[in-house]
């Protein structure tokens, strides 16, 4: 694949209605991430938001996306089920999916995990968050060092109601004492999925260079090698079975 087509999907509601959040992300969380990814060689980046027609996710957009990022929080219920199904189908075919922060409770992540994936502890007291790298030899953790420290973040605490991940890459520690599985992967069909916890809307997490580096690494990791076309359903045997040639 010569160029990775990336679509950053954002609910884009908090940034329109809250002055404090608008100051941190004047053009929305999606554009803060896009501004960084636009400087990375080999990526073709566009955005889509909830209030656009079809949430910005027309068939043309979905079917030409190699890696989709998903940020949502207050309006998960407004996302159309038929569009969630199309995104899910595209993942089965090979599209990568990166679910960010409160996207853990989105319809698409629930469909991916097969759980509500929304039950966890939370708190907004400005705790320090330290994301400790669990796997130093994984493409997503390269260039990060031993940990990422965020001076103020929303707390998520275990238990996080998800199936056991295929890979656990980060565990977060919070100043108030909680821990959380904050970077993890799944394979679903031909698609690779990465969940990455930090990114509450009222703190400038998506301006942090290490957080952006993880997202860049994840986009490259999740990009499909291609969209394999292989036989399924009834097939004739390759050689005679019980001495008979089956036509």
CB 147 within 8 A of CB 168: no
Least distance from C-beta 160 to Zn ion, angstroms?
14
**Residue number, 102 or 190, with CB nearest to Zn ion:** 102
Question: Stretches 18-26, 53-61, 81-89, 200-208: which one binds Zn ion (CB under 5 A)?
Answer: 200-208
Task: Select the span of 63-71, 105-113, 194-202, 216-224 touching Zn ion (CB under 5 A).
Answer: 194-202
Candidates 90, 107, 181, 200; binder of Zn ion (CB under 5 A) is 200
Binders of Zn ion among 131-160, rule CB under 5 A? 154
Position with the least CB separation from Zn ion: 200
In this chain, which of 10, 31, 47, 102 binds Zn ion, going by CB under 5 A?
102
CB of 101 to Zn ion, least distance (A): 6
How many residues sit in the footprint of Zn ion (CB under 5 A)? 3
Give the residues lining the site for Zn ion (CB under 5 A): 102, 154, 200
């Amino acid at each position: 694949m010569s160029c990775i087509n990336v679509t950053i999907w954002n609910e884009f509601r908090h940034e329109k209605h809250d002055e404090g959040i608008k100051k941190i992300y004047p053009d929305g969380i999606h554009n803060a991430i896009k501004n960084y990814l636009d400087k990375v060689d080999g990526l073709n980046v566009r955005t889509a938001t909830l209030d656009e027609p079809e949430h910005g996710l027309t068939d043309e957009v979905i079917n030409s996306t190699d890696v989709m990022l998903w940020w949502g929080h207050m309006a998960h219920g407004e996302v159309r089920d038929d569009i969630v199904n199309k995104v899910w189908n595209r993942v089965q075919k090979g599209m990568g999916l990166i679910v960010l922060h409160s996207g853990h409770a989105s319809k698409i992540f629930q469909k991916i995990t097969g759980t509500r994936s929304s039950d966890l502890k939370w708190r907004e007291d400005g705790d320090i968050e330290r994301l400790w790298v669990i796997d130093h030899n994984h493409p997503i953790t390269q260039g990060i060092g031993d940990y990422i420290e965020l001076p103020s973040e929303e707390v998520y605490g275990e238990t996080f109601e998800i199936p056991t991940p295929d890979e656990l890459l980060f565990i977060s520690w919070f100043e108030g004492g909680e821990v959380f599985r904050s970077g993890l992967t799944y394979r679903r069909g031909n698609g690779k999925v990465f969940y990455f916890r930090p990114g509450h809307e009222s703190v400038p997490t998506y301006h942090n260079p290490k957080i952006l580096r993880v997202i860049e690494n994840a986009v490259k990791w999740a990009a499909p090698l291609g969209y394999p076309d292989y036989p399924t359903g009834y097939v004739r045997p390759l050689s005679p079975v019980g001495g008979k040639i089956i036509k």
